[in-house]
Each structure stands twice: as C-alpha cells, then as structure tokens.
Structure 1
Amino acid sequence: MDRREIAALLAYIGRLDPRTIRTDHAEARDQIAQWHELLEEVPLATPHGWDACVVARRHIRLSAYQILPADIARPWESYKRDRLHRHTDPTPAADPDDQAAWTAELVGTRRAVATGTAQPVQYRQLAGSRVNPRLEARLEQVGSCIPPEARAALAPFRRARAAREAALAQGQPDALSVRCDWCQAPADEPCRRRRIGPDGFARGSAVRDEPHPCRKDLAATQQGQQTAMA
C-alpha cells in the first residue's frame, strides 16, 4: 500500500474504532509513516479474495484490543502461504533449453499467485483446467511430446506400442481400440498369451507384441461400419 492507501485504510478504521484517530497533524503524519513502513508490501485489495478493510473490520469486531499493523500483516502472510500451498506450478510455455526464461516464468507465476493477482493452478485431473494455449500450439507444431529419436530407442522395450504405432502409420485399423474376445484384454491394453493348465485354469498371461487375429478383424469391421455411416 502506498501512503494514500494507508491514509484511506486508517480513515476507515477510525470510523469503526475512534481510538485510532489522531487529531494532531504531526501525530497523524507519523502514524501514516509507521503503518506505511510496516505494510508497504501488503496490498489494499486484490482481485482474488484479499481486502485489508475486511481484515480490519473482522479484528475490530472480534478483538477488544486496538488494531495494529501486525493485525493486517499476519493475515496477509497466511493468505499468501495458503495460495502457494494450493498452487502446483504448471509447466512453463518457455523453451526448456532457455533456463533463464523457464525460471523467470516460474517465478513470475508464483509471485502473481502469492500476491493475489492470479488464481492458483491446480492439477488438471482434479480441477479440469485447460492446457496453456501456447503449449498446445507448440505440441501441434512438434507433433508429439516424445522426439522421434527417443521413440525409436524405446521401441524394443515397448514392442506392443511400437507395433500399434507402425500399424496406424500404415493405415491399418487400430486393433487396440476394441476389446479382445480371445484373451479378454480391454481396449487400449495389449493382448496376452493365455496358457491353460491341465486343470483348465490359466497358468500364464505374457504380453503379446501383436494383437490376436480376431481382435484385428473386429477393429477392421468397426472401422468399416464407421466409414459407411460417415
């Protein structure tokens, strides 16, 4: 708060608690200087829930003691701490290779949240917030969050996914988009080799690199039906 805002706050407090009123000009000037020194970093109000006048009115209503600058500063620190605890640091839109810009965006976002000029960003799974439009545009430009070199290096370790991506690249139906009637694998899960023991119970369920033929046929049938309807 600047000196004019401090003077306005003290005038409001004086209407609720006459004990804070200073009739002498020198005393009033010293009071404003003292409160400004202690509350210079505390805003008078923010767009998201903070209002020093509300805090002062609550103190006067609940406490028999004369209000002090600390009775405004302590709730402000609690307000900032609570907002930062609910903030989850969304991924900056800056280039990750530019460490200075990446750090500056993180710090700027945290400062905006702490000072009440921006709302805390929570996890999208819990709050349903949208992805930063700049990140969406960057992802559309790149095409994938995994570089092609990394995808090729990971292919031997996730053969089922690599086979699915290769089939889609060749224009074949996505077999993993449907449930497998043979091994009962749900959609988006790879098929499994079911070994049945002499007692009739399954003894193993190793992951298959390729979907079962019946699953491929079912995916092709559904794709043909959707094409015909379109």
Structure 2
Amino acid sequence: MDAVEATRLLAHAAAFDNRKPSKAASIAWAEALKDIPADPDAFAAVAKFYSQPSRDGDLDSTRWIQPHHVRALRKEIRDERIPDGAFTYPLPAGSETGAEFVERRRQQIAAIADGRIAAEPIRQLTGGPHPSVADALTGVGRMPDHVREALADALPGRKAREEARFRGDADALAVPCPWCHSAAGDPCKRRRGARGDKPGTWFHRTSPHPGRVDAAAIAARACPSCQAPMGVPCAWPDGRFYDGVHPTRQTTQPAA
C-alpha cells in the first residue's frame, strides 16, 4: 500500500469516524501497511471494525481504527474463506519439484483467500477395498498349511493347538494351566517321567493338561447342559460345581 492508496483507505474510515485525513497520516499509514495491498478486503476490514462492539475498551464515540486493526481484520476476512480441513491441489500436467509445489500451494491459498477460486475439500473415501486387496487380506493371520506341516515336528505343542482349532475346540493355550501353571500362550510342561530323565527337569507336553482344556472351554463358551454362562464353571442341579465340564460344553461353538 502506498500513500495514494492509504489516502483512499483513510477517506473510507472517515465516513465512519469523521476523522480529518492528512498527508502525514497517509504517509504514516502507508508505512505501517506497506506489505498490505489496498484491496477490497482492506476496505472490508474498516467496515468490519465499525460493525463490531469495542474490543479494547474504547468508548464507541472515540473509537478510531488503526493500521494494526486493518491488518488483523483483513486476515480474519481472508481466513474465513479457507476451509478448516485440507483442500485438494490438482496435479500439474508435468512433474514438479518440492519448491515448485510449495509455491503453487502458496498461490492457491492466496487465490482462495482472495475469493478468486473456491476451495475444494478432500472428499471422504467410500466403498470397500479393491478386490485384489480384499483377496490379499483374507490370508492375514492364518498359518499356511505347508508352514504348519513344517513346524509340526519342531513344535508339537503348536501342532496340537492348530489341530484343536481345526476341530473347533476351544484354544487351551489361550488360558493359563491350573495344573502346571504354564502362562497363557506357553505349552504345558511336565517333570521327569521317562526313564533316564534328569530329576527336576521340565519338559514341554505335546498336548495340554485336561484341566487346561476344561478351563479354556469355561472361558470361551456357555454350557448348554447346566446353563452356566461363559466364564462360570459347570454345576450340578443342586449348585455343586461339576468336576470338569459337561461334554456338551466342549463341543458347542465358541461365543462370537
């Protein structure tokens, strides 16, 4: 903004506050707003200032707009045209460098703030994934058959766990073992039991203890025989706890 443009802006302000513009005032305003153009938004900032109640405690009869008011209110007017969310940046016909993208983005934001173009918010993606992606995701979390077979001899406990899942049984290793106290996820263990085993040595079992199988069924399923809910042991009609679980609780489908 130069002195001539500042004179026009001060004349616009005088229509509101009856000030007497002078050459000195025009020069001073031009210096204070040298980086602000005398565009419609600068004149709208003057009108916005006098359309609002006092912000700084001045009496309405003595309020005079100052250059810093024009700067702040003009920025508010321009920011209102820019959406809260990001907006799209159409790609150029050819390639561009990072610096060229930044400059194009700056020009786009300026054009939106000027009101010369409208912002286009980024649209929400709808629909499911591409069929090829959906097909790829179907195998996530499942062990391929050839891998399961390769691990069968090295990890017999894992083999038993996979076989139980295949049959639809509750995953016994999902709960701690009440007999050998193996943590959830760890195979059951036993102490020396075969001739030649070193005393005090623990060995991994190829199958979980029966009590652990029952505990897994209690944790995963309700009992259709005694109506015990999931997580509650089976019981006799007189209320006494059942030794283990009813056979139907082992064969019913796990809760969803």
TM-score above 0.5, yes or no: no
Q: Name the TM-score class by shorter chain.
A: 0.3 to 0.5
Tell me: higher relative CO, structure 1 or 2? Use CA pairs within 8 A at least 6 residues apart.
Answer: 1
Q: Which has the higher helix share?
A: 1
Bigger Rg over Cα: 2
